[in-house]
Structure 1
Amino acid sequence: MIKIAMTGVYVDDVARAHAFYTDVLGFETRHHVDMVAGQVFVTVGAAGGQSDVELLLEPGDGPIAEPYRKALHEAGIPCIVFGVDDVRAEHERLTGLGVRFTQGPEEQGPVITAVLDDSVGNLVQLMQDASAG
């Protein structure tokens, strides 16, 4: 059986991204390893669950990553989708914490979605099964 173990998002600043993804979104730190030349290897995951899936916060200033990230952001395309139990409640909670949304909660067929700016160069979509809420 093949499973997703890790996926990554390119970010402007790994330390700021780590703070946003843990302090604001509520993920937990899985790995925080100092590498050579001041680089760090940082992964986060869902707090209290899905211990086999990690999100790698990767420096996004490389010749491939930077244009890719910029193009996605300018086109309004989220780089990743996170599932939530209640999109409207998360939108309210995160808005209260100062998170900027480019799309508020919206029904889109079988799902309810919202799109936020992660403050480190990406748009992130929150998604809920519409039948669950």
Structure 2
Amino acid sequence: MTLVKFLEARIAEDEAGEARKYRPLEEKLVDLFGPCTIIRPSPYTVMVKSQDGSDRVLLDAVEFREHYTEPAPDQRTLAECAAKRAIIEQCREDHEDSLTRNDDTEELASGVLYALAGVYKDHPDYQQEWAL
């Protein structure tokens, strides 16, 4: 695995991890009540009707806010992922050139990528040759 591919894979994992934290409300309610129909007559009122149509649960605004609302994914984490992708894109070509020839620009690009990879040094795919 190349350094760039390693970094791209770790960033994708970071993004996916952030997305997994925030499941849609409907998925959470199905986990709680089983197969059901979810009716949202207002932003803070949810009716859950069981599959056989007999059960109804009304979650009022207070209970809904306390137990079921989803915070937005961490925008800072997502912004860091986007910034890392931009850095990788800027450094990719110079780093790949540094594997065949040596000059200051290529060394700088490689150093930046090695620094980014250092964050993931405990990952099983991390290669010790990437250590600064």
State the TM-score bracket (shorter-chain normalisation): under 0.3
TM-score by length of 1: 0.26
**Structure richer in strand, relative to its length:** 1
Rg (Cα) greater in structure: 2
TM-score by length of 2: 0.26
**Structure richer in helix, relative to its length:** 2
